[in-house]
Amino acid sequence: TQAHLDAMEKARGLNAYVLETPERALTMANVADTKIAHGEARPLEGIPLGIKDLFCTHGVATTAGSKILEGFQPHYESAVTHNLWRDGAVMLGKLNLDEFAMGSSNETSAYGDTISPWRRQENGKLSDAKLVPGGSSGGSAAAVAAHLCLGATATDTGGSIRQPAAFTGTVGIKPTYGRCSRWGTVAYASSLDQAGPIARTVRDCAILLGSMAGADARDTTCADLPVPDFEAAVSRGVKGLTIGIPKEYRVDGMSAEVQALWDRGAAMLKDAGATVREISLPHTPYALPAYYIVAPAEASSNLARYDGVRYGLRVPGKDIAGMYENTRAAGFGREVKRRIMIGTYVLSAGYYDAYYVRAQKIRTLIKRDFEAAYASGIDAILTPATPSAAFGLGEKGSGDPVEMYLQDVFTITVNMAGLPGLSVPAGLDAQGLPLGLQLIGRPFDEETLFAAAQVIE
Ligand code: GLN
C-alpha cells in the first residue's frame, strides 16, 4: 500500500486519481496486517485497489466526474466496493472518468483529462505527444497500466471497461448484465450499466470479479446466482470449444494491423484445441445508432435527480425553477447536456415510437443474433476490441461527436444483448501501442472468457 501511495504521488501528472485516500488506505492496510498475522487472511487481504469515481464510497467524496456532484459525500457504500472491502481489499483513492461515464477518452471529466502512461514510438524514439487512456474508465485503465494500483473497479455501459483496457494493455471484463449489483453505483443507462474489474492479468481480473459479483436484493436486476470460481476457470483451456468469428465485424476501413491481430488470436485459440468458424450477426450495423438512442434516453431520466436540492452543487436563482436551471447549467458539461437533449427528444410524445420504440426493437434483434449463434454451438466469439490503438489527446470528437461514438462500434452490441465481454491485450501496433481482442460469451458464462483469454494472453 505504501509503495503504491508513493507511486501515486510521483505520477500525479497522469491525473488518474481525482482523490487519493492515503489515511484510509493505511488504516485498511494495518487491519490487513493484523488479519494476516492472526492467520485470518480474507481472499483479497491487503490488495491495494483504485475505485472508479462512479462507485459511491461511504464518507468519501464521489463526483462521477461531474461538477454537479461537487461536495457530495455518500452515507452509504456501493454493493461492489462493499464486497471488495469485505474480502480485505484496500482503497487507495477514487479514479478519474468521463463525466457520468459518457465518453471514450476521459476528456469529458470535469476534473481534467487523464493521460495514458503509453507513448508512441516514432523513428526509434518515444514521442512527446500525449495519448488518451480511453474512456469512460480512463483513470482505472491508466492507474492499472502505470502500476498506481494492483487492480481497479470500472463500469461498462457501451464499452467503457473494454476500450480503455485495450488502449492501455490491460485486461478488462464487463460481466453479464446482472452479475454485479448496480446498487450504489451512479447510474448512466440502467439497462446497460455493469461493473467489472480492470487488472494487469486475466487471473487478477478473475479474482477481482469473484469478489465484486454476487446476488443483491437491493438491485432487482441483479441475478440471484452463485458466483463461480472464476480463478479456477482461467487455466481450463479451450480444447473442444467452438469460437465464432462474426463476419459483420470486418468493417470497412479496418486496418491491416487490426485484421492481422484478429487472425493471430483465432490461430492461437485453434492451436490450443478450439474449433474456429465464421458466423453471422446480421444486425450488428444497427447497434451503435440504437445505443445512442437507448443510452441517452435512460440517462436523461437518471440525471433528472440532480436538481440542486438533493446532491452536491446548488446555484441560487430567483425562484426554485431558476435554481434548478442555474444549477444544471453550471453543473453539467457539454457532452452530458447533449445526451440529455437527445434523450428527452427521443422520449418526447411525438418521437417516442419513431426512435425509442424502434431502438428497443433493434435491441431485441441484436440479442436474437447472439442467441442464434450460441444455439448453433458457438461457445464464445472473438472480435477486435477497438478499431485502432489509442489516439492523441484532443484528436477526436471536438468537431463531430460521432467520431468519438464510433470508438465503441465493436463493444456496444455486447451491452445491448446483456452478454459478458472481455478485452485482452494481444499485441502492439507499428508505433508500439497496445491493441486488444474482445471475447464475447454466453449469458453468465464468464468462465469460458477467462479460459480463452488466458490462451491469448
Ligand atoms: N463511450 C460510450 C458512451 O459514451 C460508452 C460509455 C460507457 O460504457 N460508460 O456512452
Calculate helix-pair angle for 446-456, 256-271, nearest 10 degrees. Answer: 100
What is the CA(384)–ligand 1 centre distance, in A?
17
Q: Residues with Cβ within 6 A of ligand 1? A: 101-104, 136, 156-160, 188, 295, 408
ipTM of the complex model? 0.97
Indicate if the pLDDT at residue 212 is higher than 90: yes
Phi-psi sector, 383: left (phi>0), alpha (psi -120 to 50), beta: beta
Confidence label for 219 from pLDDT (cuts 50, 70 and 90) = very high
Best of 98, 137, 167, 174 for a ligand 1 pocket test (most atoms within 8 Å of beta carbon): 98
Q: What is the pLDDT of residue 400?
A: 86
Domains belonging to the chain, first-starting first, are 13-457 (3.90.1300.10)
Residue 272 CB coordination number (10 Å): 16
Are 140 and 164 in contact by the 8 Å Cβ rule? The answer is: yes
Indicate if the pLDDT at residue 253 is higher than 80: no
Residue 454 CB coordination number (10 Å): 21
Which atom belonging to ligand 1 lies closest to the Cα atom of 157? 8
- Which 3 state secondary structure label does DSSP give 339? helix
Q: What is the pLDDT of residue 67?
A: 98
Model pTM greater than 0.95?
Answer: yes
The C-alpha atoms of residue 155 and residue 174 are separated, in whole angstroms, by 7
Backbone torsions φ then ψ of 8, nearest 5 degrees: -60, -40
Which whole number is the average pLDDT over 253-275? Answer: 95
Q: What is the pLDDT of residue 9?
A: 98
What is the CA(190)–ligand 1 centre distance, in A?
12
pLDDT averaged over every residue in the chain: 97
| C-alpha cell recorded at residue 428 | 502492439
Residues marked active site are found at 52, 136, 160
- Atom 5 of ligand 1, nearest CA residue: 158
Confidence label for 29 from pLDDT (cuts 50, 70 and 90) = very high
Which atom belonging to ligand 1 lies closest to the Cα atom of 155? 9
Confidence label for 255 from pLDDT (cuts 50, 70 and 90) = confident
Higher pLDDT: 253 or 240? It is 240
302-347 tens-digit pLDDT: 999 999 999 999 999 999 999 999 999 999 999 999 999 999 999 9
- Atom 10 of ligand 1, nearest CA residue: 102
Are 344 and 336 in contact by the 8 Å Cβ rule? The answer is: no
The C-alpha atoms of residue 105 and residue 185 are separated, in whole angstroms, by 21
Percent of the chain whose pLDDT exceeds 90: 96
**Distance between the two ends of the chain, CA-based, in angstroms?**
27
Place of cell 458466423: 279
The H or E element containing residue 19 is strand 17-20
Q: What is the pLDDT of residue 22?
A: 98
What is the CA(157)–ligand 1 centre distance, in A?
6
Indicate if the pLDDT at residue 426 is higher than 90: yes
What is the CA(100)–ligand 1 centre distance, in A?
9
Instruction: Report DSSP letters for 109-130, one per residue.
Output: -TT-PPPPS---EETTEE----
Are 283 and 302 in contact by the 8 Å Cβ rule? The answer is: no
Q: What is the pLDDT of residue 397?
A: 84
The C-alpha atoms of residue 1 and residue 20 are separated, in whole angstroms, by 12
Q: What is the pLDDT of residue 225?
A: 98
Q: What is the pLDDT of residue 254?
A: 85
Is the torsion defined by CA of 213, 217, 218, 220 positive or negative? positive
Are 339 and 404 in contact by the 8 Å Cβ rule? The answer is: no
Which atom belonging to ligand 1 lies closest to the Cα atom of 291? 10
Which atom belonging to ligand 1 lies closest to the Cα atom of 161? 8
Which whole number is the average pLDDT over 370-390? Answer: 97
| C-alpha cell recorded at residue 311 | 446532491
Instruction: Report DSSP letters for 130-193, one per residue.
Output: -B---SSSHHHHHHHHTTSSSEEEEEESSSTTHHHHHHHT-EEEE--TTSS--TTBPPSSTTT-
Are 127 and 85 in contact by the 8 Å Cβ rule? The answer is: no
What is the CA(176)–ligand 1 centre distance, in A?
17
Q: What is the pLDDT of residue 399?
A: 80
Residue 313 sits at the vertex; the CA angle it makes with 311 and 314, to the nearest 5 degrees, is: 100
113-172 tens-digit pLDDT: 999 999 999 998 999 999 999 999 999 999 999 999 999 999 999 999 999 999 999 999
The C-alpha atoms of residue 229 and residue 212 are separated, in whole angstroms, by 13
95-117 tens-digit pLDDT: 999 999 999 999 999 999 999 99
How far, CA to CA in Å, does 273 sit from each of 157, 305, 336, 369, 436? 33, 52, 46, 26, 21
168-191 tens-digit pLDDT: 999 999 999 999 999 999 999 999
Percent of the chain whose pLDDT exceeds 70: 100
